[in-house]
Structure 1
Amino acid sequence: MANNTFKYTQFKLEKLNKVEEILYELEEYKPLTLRQIYYQMVGKGFIPNNKSQYNMLSELLKWARIDCRISWNDIEDRSRFYNSPETDRSLDSFVKAWDDSYLSGFKLDYLASQQNYIELWYEKDAITSVIRKIASKYRLSTVAATGYNSITFQHDFTERINNKPDKQPVILFASDFDPSGLDMFESIQKTINDEMGFNNRGIIFRRVALSRKQIDEFHLPKSIDAIKPKDSRAPKFIKEYGNIAVEIDALKPSDLQRIVEDAVLEYIDPLLLEQKINEEKLVLLNIQEFLKDFYVFKVSRKWNLKVGG
């Protein structure tokens, strides 16, 4: 253990036990963010919803990881990024890695035969793991529109739909329920449709989360960051919804996955999807057979050379 002065009081140990319960319950969605864990703690009534408790939890989880009470792999900070070059230790390691991954790397485009071209756009990195689960399952493109999305990303989207003139474009959007989250969605529509001139393309823009109805349905706690009075978007928001703001992090990952996946399935023909999945399975079987024959040929050739030589 690290040499530190942090004291694990009975109160803090009880809270740490509750964190471990949450990590166990959300095993398939790990690593989680601090904020996701915090809102699960609040939602289950384990701690009050205020800045003081958030800071307490942050400090507790810091030392719990340093002291190996919680794995470093259970929690991540998605606001910071580390990039390293892809390298191989040797030719043998490269060949083995390729041999282990060639089948997993083959993926058919499930949307190729569909009428709709669907993209998942989301405001916060905190829900990336959930969004990517759905995107991987249905082979969808994703856009992390953190902050206010750049004009470059919106232009890139118009290029993608220009390359699919026979498809119905669909953007499914997920964000916080607050002035910026709602305004961001409206801003994206305005930029693409009005300012970039794609109004006649009939793009479907749909905000799938977070809504006031979902907040009430799942009894979600308010954001610890209150609506700022100086925010120019606040008056309109407060007039329509009241002085309430909720972060999408507060939604249980499994509930968010179900909400987004249900929305995706509304724009997918299940029969065409099943055909593509079966086609992919058949292609993978053919690849396996080909490689099996290839290896047999390679081994027999090497053996014949040894015998003949």
Structure 2
Amino acid sequence: MSGRPPSYDKIVAAALEVFDQYDTAITLRQLYYRLVSRLLIPNTVNSYKRLSRIMVKAREEEAVPVNCLEDRSRRILGRGDTGYDSAEEYLKQKLSGLQDSWKGFTMLMWEEQPVYLLISLEKDALSRLVSRVANQYSVRTFPTRGYPSFSYVQIMANYMQTRLNGKPTILLYFGDFDPSGVDIERDLEDRLGRYGAKDFEVKRIALTAEQIRHYSLPPMPVKRSDARAESFMATHGDSSVELDALDPNLLQEMVEKTILENIDAHKWNARVRKIENLQKWIKDKLEDIEKVIDDEIESLEDS
């Protein structure tokens, strides 16, 4: 990386390449770490601020898609002024949703599996990317945003003991390869146990030193300000890598591969077939209900 900062055009071109790897909007922080991992920009506060300014300009000029970045730190509250023009309109809309509602029927997929799986993710910015894959296999994702709070760990422990009925559980952990990212794994295991979770294991899936070498992920110096830096460096050396630096497709592949490794395929496929049969039964029943409601709407419109 040269001493001169990359030009506006060069950053925009690189950002477009990153955006093309995702099928959803990403955060500015996520884009920042992807560009840092490419050694395009330095890992500094000023570099982050400059990237922010460039992305504002690029979106204003439509050099990048306007909706390529999202702001998860601010929320819009309230439903606003909403309503219907008539009761008939309301019924028709609800009926339209009812027609395809059979597709939403499912069953407990992990009930007959040997273990339950959960995912713990250090980076909230990657939560949609990870959960999109995990949801396909009925696996819940817990983004901790760094070290999770007391309340958040309590929620996790309670979920494991009540919703999962205390069944053996593997918590798949995805975090940075840095002092805090490595220590969060230990912290989770310790506090989940103290807060009531039983018969569980926290298992690091990414990032690992082996993955960093295998995928040639560019390292960054360890932050000396981290209280855990000394112990981390004694074991792993003076290099760290953010989880965000990993190609999103690789991350999703890791999630899916790990989940599939813990599934009894025979039991899973049998449950899928049962769901499909019941969905067909529900669809037939809904068609009968639809005919009755259609007649009621017609009589309402005629009155």
TM-score over 0.5 (shorter chain):
yes
Separation in 2, partners of 1:102, 1:182: 43
| Mapping 1:67-146, distance limit 5 Å | 67-78=61-72, 80-86=73-79, 88-90=82-84, 92=89, 96=93, 99-100=96-97, 102-146=101-145
For the aligned residue pairs, the C-alpha RMSD in angstroms reads 2.9
C-alpha distance 61-98 of structure 1, shift in aligned 2 (>3 A): farther
1:211 aligns with 2:204: no
For residue 286 of structure 2, what is the aligned residue in structure 1?
A: 291
For residue 186 of structure 2, what is the aligned residue in structure 1?
A: 186
More displaced 10-residue stretch of structure 1: 105-114 or 293-302: 293-302
User: How far apart are 1:302 and its partner, in Å?
Assistant: 6.7
C-alpha distance 73-302 of structure 1, shift in aligned 2 (>3 A): closer
SS of alignment partner, residue 114 of structure 1: coil
Separation in 1, partners of 2:19, 2:143: 25
Q: 2:37, 2:219 within 8 Å by CA — same for their partners in 1?
A: no
Separation in 2, partners of 1:295, 1:54: 55
Q: 1:135, 1:141 within 8 Å by CA — same for their partners in 2?
A: yes
For residue 15 of structure 1, what is the aligned residue in structure 2?
A: 11
Report the AA paired with residue 116 of structure 1. V
Separation in 2, partners of 1:118, 1:154: 16
| Alignment equivalent of 1:254, drawn from 249, 258, 263 | 249
Q: 1:125, 1:146 within 8 Å by CA — same for their partners in 2?
A: yes
| Alignment equivalent of 1:202, drawn from 196, 199, 204 | 199
SS of alignment partner, residue 292 of structure 1: helix
TM-score (norm 1): 0.82
Number of equivalences: 290
Residues 124-174 of structure 1 show CA distances to partners (whole Å, capped at 9, x for unaligned) of 111111221122101112211113212323233333333344621111111
Report the AA paired with residue 190 of structure 2. K
1:62 aligns with 2:42: no
Q: 2:166, 2:199 within 8 Å by CA — same for their partners in 1?
A: no
Q: 1:49, 1:221 within 8 Å by CA — same for their partners in 2?
A: no
Q: 1:43, 1:219 within 8 Å by CA — same for their partners in 2?
A: no
Q: Which runs of 5+ in 1 are unaligned?
A: 1-9
Residues 71-125 of structure 1 show CA distances to partners (whole Å, capped at 9, x for unaligned) of 23211133x0414345752253575267336345433322122121111111111
Separation in 2, partners of 1:115, 1:74: 40
Separation in 1, partners of 2:160, 2:301: 57
Q: Which runs of 5+ in 2 are unaligned?
A: 1-5
More displaced 10-residue stretch of structure 1: 236-245 or 85-94: 85-94
Q: 1:124, 1:145 within 8 Å by CA — same for their partners in 2?
A: yes
| Alignment equivalent of 2:267, drawn from 272, 280, 286 | 272
Separation in 2, partners of 1:94, 1:219: 57
For residue 4 of structure 1, what is the aligned residue in structure 2?
A: none
TM-score (norm 2): 0.83
Report the AA paired with residue 256 of structure 2. E
C-alpha distance 204-306 of structure 1, shift in aligned 2 (>3 A): closer
| Percentage of identical aligned residues | 25
Q: 2:127, 2:141 within 8 Å by CA — same for their partners in 1?
A: no
Report the AA paired with residue 156 of structure 2. F
User: How far apart are 1:23 and its partner, in Å?
Assistant: 2.1
Separation in 2, partners of 1:18, 1:243: 28
SS of alignment partner, residue 74 of structure 1: coil
C-alpha distance 153-40 of structure 1, shift in aligned 2 (>3 A): closer
